[in-house]
Amino acid sequence: MAKPLDTSSGDILADRRADYAEMLFGSGEALPAAELMLDALELAPNWAIGWFRLGEFHETAGDMEAAAEAWRMAQKLDPADRAGAALKLALAGKASAADAPPSAFVEALFDQYAEKFDHALVDTLGYRVPEFLADAIAAAHPGRFQLALDLGCGTGLMGERLRPACDRLEGFDISAEMLRKARAKGVYDRLEKTDLQAFSYDGPKADLVTAADVFMYVGALESVVRTVAGLLAEDGLFAFSVEKLEAMDGFALQSSRRYAHAEAYVRRVLGETGFAVVSMEAKIIRQDRNEPVTGLIVVAERR
């Protein structure tokens, strides 16, 4: 597992010990790595990311009680929870699962991976959500859109697909680094940093809103779908993807620390918010740890 944030403890000796611990962990020696990381934390006891990594070392070594203790310390030292300790505690059964991940975790995650995001996702993991969504949108509405809003636009992979069919295209994302990459592509008329959990928009009604590979970092969809309904003109389209949960209903946090959503849940939330489903198709949206990930490609119309 990659280090969640490349952050120094502020103590040279502690950093050196932590680096040795990472080497041991990378060699499959989780318990010695945990012992050495604990030594580092004795020198830098307020290092939240160090405590988070200690929790992951204990987790791999099979000591979930020690892992949970370390994650709780990380959470205490960094209440914004950039490392996502709350998600690890929930997955370990040591805390209730939240309806959404910490916003600071999502922001830090994508700031960290922005530079290599396109290559890693498209070339390595076979990511195809923008392609699938663009095809589904074109099938539902072959003409042009006056205004499209791309929520969670990231580096602009969806925007590149949308641009030829949009008079005006605006993108919104929580990560400044992702927006910097998107800006360099020159496909958006406007880009703005925002948290979708508290998103507001004072512009004209859009006739298309997209959210490509976004809702796995949202969890409960009721609030954001209501927000989207308020952004759209009558008969406007909402196109998005989710990771498919193989359950009858609801949504759930996965071991990847992403949320998956059941088809029945997605249909119910859309219906309760005044949307009619135009199309909903299961597709292999990417690979994860050499396994295919099934998602739902959804287009809904505001009625």
Distances (CA, A) of 138 to 30, 189, 222: 50, 21, 26
Phi and psi torsions of 51, nearest 5°? -65, -40
Predicted TM-score of the model (pTM): 0.90
| pLDDT of 115 above 70 | yes
Rounded Cα gap, residues 19 and 22, in angstroms: 5
Q: Where do you find CATH 3.40.50.150 in the chain?
A: 117-302
Reported as a single tens digit per residue, the pLDDT across 217-231 is 999 999 999 999 999
Q: Where do you find CATH 1.25.40.10 in the chain?
A: 12-97
Predicted confidence at residue 157, as pLDDT, reads: 95
Domain 117-302 class? alpha beta
In CATH, the number for domain 12-97 is 1.25.40.10
Q: If residue 149 lies in a helix (H) or strand (E), which one and from where to where?
A: strand 145-151
Diameter of the chain measured on Cα atoms: 63
Reported as a single tens digit per residue, the pLDDT across 154-185 is 999 999 999 999 999 999 999 999 999 999 99
Average pLDDT over residues 255-278: 96
Place of tokens 């099938």: 139
HEC assignment per residue over 184-242: HHCCCCEEEECCHHHCCCCCCCEEEEEECCCHHHCCCCHHHHHHHHHHEEEEEEEEEEE
